[in-house]
């Protein structure tokens, strides 16, 4: 199969923004010619497809990396073919299996870790054991639906040639595998190799994840996060599987939060900077944004949550609040959805996770801005209106109270935020108290209607 079909006038796949004919085409053609010459005149039409694919991968310009020269790749390709022919001629299944296993080891190279097959997406939902579907998966990927996978796999091999280090033996194995991928008759060897690798990694990753969770108690959660992140880097396919599975499961929990059916709240210090940001910056946008949805009038809260570092205070509190909700829930299905949401927030890093975190953050801020009085009974403290959040004496008493609870870091955070943003917030709260409260209520009611942060 011809893997790369680029017209002269198409954009160059090296992403330079120029047309192929004005960018890499000459280099690709030179590389193909050079590899063909080294290999010699004696190759089949299928052999030419492999040479063209390889020439393409090494002819594209790239930043950094160390792409082997076409002459060298040509010489390695000759050796790869000799070896493969020898194995095929003697019809030695064991030797073929040996080559497949050698390729499976190579699949652990950094740039090849993404060549995996998302087995779970082929699961029909029957009780069929997952290994029984192998033949079906190979059939599908060998058909038109598999084209995307095949091109991606070839691209990954190109990136691996560029960035990963190879011994000559490994390079020979990689070129044998590239041949399997390119040639229609042998592609299933490539696919079965990747399937086996994928399955063994999912099993290993599951076991390692269990070990991580078992070896730590509840108190060293941070170490668990760290180790899980390392695990995901080692097995990207495992993270992808969890992420795919969890995305669907979390919807009931998110809906319940948005509807206010599941009251989720965090202490003031966990959203203090965001609360000030909403109070202070609101009036800038109010004059220009009356036609927009309430939520869009708000300042971008990524700044305070991530860059400003309030994440450090917010994240433990929101996970604690969700943890408590899990314990209190009587409904098994709902509890499992909450658990998925927690896992999603704790272990995975993608844009949807960040959106959900922002949604929860905004929601907690708006609750602090719209429901009064807010009483902290142990501290004998009451915030009876928005302006009280900007009252130096009350904030100082709140910080003292946090210190008395051994929450020195949290107390320092409250004081720092008050020093840097308190005065500006007080000015705005004096002028626009009712508008800010109304806006916070409008945001909460918008959430109730749209009930999803995607
Ligand atoms: Zn180019």
pLDDT in tens, 406-445: 999 999 999 999 999 999 899 989 988 998 898 889 888 8
Tell which phi-psi region holds residue 266, choosing left (phi > 0), alpha (psi between -120 and 50) or beta: beta
Cα 15 to middle of ligand 1, angstroms: 6
**Residue 404 near residue 430, CB atoms below 8 Å:** no
Over the stretch 288-334, which tens digit does the pLDDT of each residue have?
A: 444 345 555 566 777 788 777 898 999 989 999 998 898 888 898 89
Cα 58 to middle of ligand 1, angstroms: 11
Over the stretch 94-115, which tens digit does the pLDDT of each residue have?
A: 888 999 999 999 999 999 999 9
Cα 148 to middle of ligand 1, angstroms: 21
Cα 16 to middle of ligand 1, angstroms: 6
Round to the nearest angstrom and report the end-to-end CA distance of the chain.
39
Residue 146 is classified by DSSP as: G
Residues near 164 by beta carbon (within 8 Å), at least 6 away in sequence: 109, 110, 111, 112
Cα 35 to middle of ligand 1, angstroms: 19
Lowest-pLDDT range, 172-181, 211-220, 390-399, 442-451? 211-220
Cα 62 to middle of ligand 1, angstroms: 8
Cα–Cα distance measured from residue 454 to residue 452, given in angstroms and rounded to the nearest whole number? 6
- Ion ligand 1: residue ranges with CB closer than 5 A: 12, 14, 16, 23-24
Cα 237 to middle of ligand 1, angstroms: 30
Cα 116 to middle of ligand 1, angstroms: 27
Cα 167 to middle of ligand 1, angstroms: 28
The per-residue pLDDT for 192 is 95
Residue 121 pairs with which residues in a beta bridge?
Answer: none
DSSP string, 89-110: HTT-HHHHHHHHHHHHHHTTSG
The per-residue pLDDT for 125 is 59
**Residue 232 near residue 239, CB atoms below 8 Å:** yes
Cα 5 to middle of ligand 1, angstroms: 14
Cα 69 to middle of ligand 1, angstroms: 17
**Residue 352 near residue 341, CB atoms below 8 Å:** no
Cα 451 to middle of ligand 1, angstroms: 45
Cα 18 to middle of ligand 1, angstroms: 7
Cα 108 to middle of ligand 1, angstroms: 28
Cα 28 to middle of ligand 1, angstroms: 9
Residues near 116 by beta carbon (within 8 Å), at least 6 away in sequence: 194, 197, 198, 201, 236, 237, 240
The per-residue pLDDT for 453 is 58
Report whether pLDDT(37) > 80.
Answer: yes
Q: Average pLDDT of 244-252? A: 83
Q: Average pLDDT of 42-68? A: 91
**Distances in Å between the alpha carbon of 84 and those of 87, 95, 142, 403?**
5, 9, 21, 71
Cα 70 to middle of ligand 1, angstroms: 17
Residue 383 pairs with which residues in a beta bridge?
Answer: 374
Neighbouring C-beta atoms of residue 235, cutoff 10 Å:
22
Cα 60 to middle of ligand 1, angstroms: 6
Lowest-pLDDT range, 18-32, 167-181, 244-258, 419-433? 244-258
Residues near 274 by beta carbon (within 8 Å), at least 6 away in sequence: 301, 304, 305, 310, 314, 361, 362, 365
Cα 21 to middle of ligand 1, angstroms: 9
Cα 312 to middle of ligand 1, angstroms: 43
Residue 382 pairs with which residues in a beta bridge?
Answer: 375
Q: 171 falls in which pLDDT band (50, 70, 90)?
A: very high
Report whether pLDDT(130) > 80.
Answer: no
């Amino acid at each position: 199969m011809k893997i790369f079909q680029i017209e002269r006038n198409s954009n160059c796949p090296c992403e330079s923004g120029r047309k192929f004919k004005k960018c890499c085409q000459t280099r690709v053609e030179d590389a193909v010619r050079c590899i063909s010459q080294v290999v010699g005149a004696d190759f089949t039409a299928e052999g030419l497809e492999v040479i063209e694919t390889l020439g393409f991968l090494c002819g594209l310009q790239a930043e950094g990396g160390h792409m082997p020269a076409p002459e060298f790749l040509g010489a390695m390709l000759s050796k790869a073919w000799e070896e493969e022919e020898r194995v095929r001629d003697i019809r030695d299944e064991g030797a073929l299996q040996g080559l497949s296993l050698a390729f499976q080891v190579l699949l652990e190279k950094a740039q090849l870790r993404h060549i995996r097959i998302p087995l779970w997406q082929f699961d029909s939902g029957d009780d069929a054991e997952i290994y029984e579907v192998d033949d079906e998966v190979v059939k599908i990927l060998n058909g038109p639906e598999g084209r995307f996978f095949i091109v991606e796999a070839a691209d990954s091999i190109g990136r691996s040639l560029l960035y990963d280090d190879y011994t000559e033996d490994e390079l020979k194995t990689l070129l044998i595998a590239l041949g399997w991928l390119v040639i229609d008759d042998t592609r299933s060897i490539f696919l079965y190799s990747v399937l086996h690798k994928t399955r063994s990694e999912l099993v290993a990753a599951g076991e390692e994840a269990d070990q991580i969770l078992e070896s730590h108690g509840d108190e060293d959660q941070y170490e668990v996060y760290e180790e899980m992140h390392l695990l995901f880097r080692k097995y990207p396919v495992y993270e992808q599987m969890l992420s795919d599975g969890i995305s669907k499961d979390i919807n009931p929990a998110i809906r319940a939060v948005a509807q206010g059916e599941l009251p989720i709240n965090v202490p003031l210090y966990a959203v203090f900077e965001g609360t000030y940001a909403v109070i202070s910056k609101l009036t800038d946008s109010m004059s220009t944004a009356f036609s927009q949805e309430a939520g869009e009038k708000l300042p971008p809260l990524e700044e305070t949550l991530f860059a400003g570092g309030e994440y450090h205070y917010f994240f433990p509190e929101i996970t604690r609040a969700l943890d408590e909700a899990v314990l209190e829930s009587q409904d098994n299905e709902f509890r499992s959805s909450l658990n998925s949401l927690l896992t999603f927030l704790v272990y995975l890093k993608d844009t949807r996770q960040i959106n959900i975190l922002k949604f929860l953050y905004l929601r907690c801020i708006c609750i602090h801005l719209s429901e009064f009085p807010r009483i902290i009974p142990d501290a004998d403290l009451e915030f009876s209106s928005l302006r009280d959040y900007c009252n130096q004496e009350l904030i100082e008493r709140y910080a003292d109270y946090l210190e008395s609870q051994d929450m020195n870091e949290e107390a320092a955070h409250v004081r720092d935020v008050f020093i840097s943003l308190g005065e500006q917030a007080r000015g705005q709260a004096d002028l626009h108290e009712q508008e800010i409260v109304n806006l916070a209520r409008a945001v909460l009611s918008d959430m109730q209607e749209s009930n999803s942060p995607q």
